[in-house]
Amino acid sequence: MTTVVLVDDQDLVRAGLRALLARDESIHVVAEATDGRRGIEAARKHRPDVVLMDLRMPVMDGIEATRAIAADEVLADTHVVVLTTFDDDSDIVEAIRAGAVGYLLKNTPRDELRDAVARAGRGERLLSPAITQRLMDMIASGQAAPVPDPRLTLLSSRELEVLTRIGHGDTNDEIASTLHLSPATARTYVSRILAKLGARDRPELVVIAHRSGLVIS
């Protein structure tokens, strides 16, 4: 059973999400909140697997609430998925930095949304394809000269190659094929890179690769 807290200031949106998720017997909405502060309180009370978090809310916005939940050791097993109508560049990056494991738009198809909640409950990281492309395009274009991340000195030349492929949006299987590795070896490299860079997840590695100039648009 995947337990969920809904955080959105619009009553109709929360009602719609509750009804949509109720169609999957393996998902159970345990609480709702109308702003970020109440969302944190509900998360601490119920310790859900997933918090579906809106961004623009009164009292406390979704970014600040996500940051608080991600930093709370009591909520180490709670995963925040941002669900919003906004695909603003800064919102996407800030949500990832704050600790969100996923960023989805409210027009995400119903089945995909239920699947995303289940995956997030298992600790998987996810971005909708449109958001992944937007993130990559945003970071790669209109930037000043890239600033290499000093942590890249911790990586071997092979690990830098893998990070570059991650920056291009390659899956582990695609990395394996491009760099002539076995899929298991590719997964090992990705895990090592995450550990060496202290990165939370794959989307953060995409940000690092682009900002460091490893990927040129």
* Claim to verify: residue 113 and residue 161 sit in the same structural domain: no
* Claim to verify: residue 23 and residue 55 sit in the same structural domain: yes
Calpha distance 28→23 (Å, rounded): 10
Q: Is residue 217 part of a domain?
A: no
**Predicted model pTM:** 0.64
DSSP type of residue 201: S
The CATH number covering residue 159 comes to: 1.10.10.10
3-class SS of residue 80: strand
Q: How many domains does the chain have?
A: 2
> Per the structure block, which two tokens stand in for 199?
């990165």
Closest C-alpha among 141, 190, 136, 184 to residue 163:
190
Q: Is residue 153 part of a domain?
A: yes
Query: Which residues face 31 on adjacent strands?
Result: 5
- Return the pLDDT at 144: 45
- Return the pLDDT at 87: 65
* Claim to verify: residue 169 and residue 116 sit in the same structural domain: no
Calpha distance 193→173 (Å, rounded): 16
Residue where the block lists tokens 């492309």:
133
Listed residues 103, 132, 161: the one ending a domain: 132
- Return the pLDDT at 136: 63
The DSSP string of 45-111 is HH--SEEEE-SS-SSS-HHHHHHHHHH-GGGTT-EEEEEES---HHHHHHHHHHT-SEEEETTS-HH
- Return the pLDDT at 88: 66
> Per this entry, what is the length of the chain?
217
- Return the pLDDT at 155: 86
* Claim to verify: residue 103 and residue 155 sit in the same structural domain: no
**What is the SS3 assignment for 8-19?**
CCCHHHHHHHHH
pLDDT tens-place string over residues 123-175: 887 877 667 666 666 655 654 445 567 788 888 888 989 999 998 888 999 99
> What single letter denotes the amino acid at residue 108?
T
> What single letter denotes the amino acid at residue 130?
A
Range of the domain at 170: 143-211
* Claim to verify: residue 158 and residue 121 sit in the same structural domain: no
Question: Which stretches of the chain drop beneath a pLDDT of 50?
Answer: 143-145
Query: Which residues face 28 on adjacent strands?
Result: 3
- Return the pLDDT at 145: 45
* Claim to verify: residue 64 and residue 163 sit in the same structural domain: no
Phi and psi at 103, nearest 5°, equal -140, 110
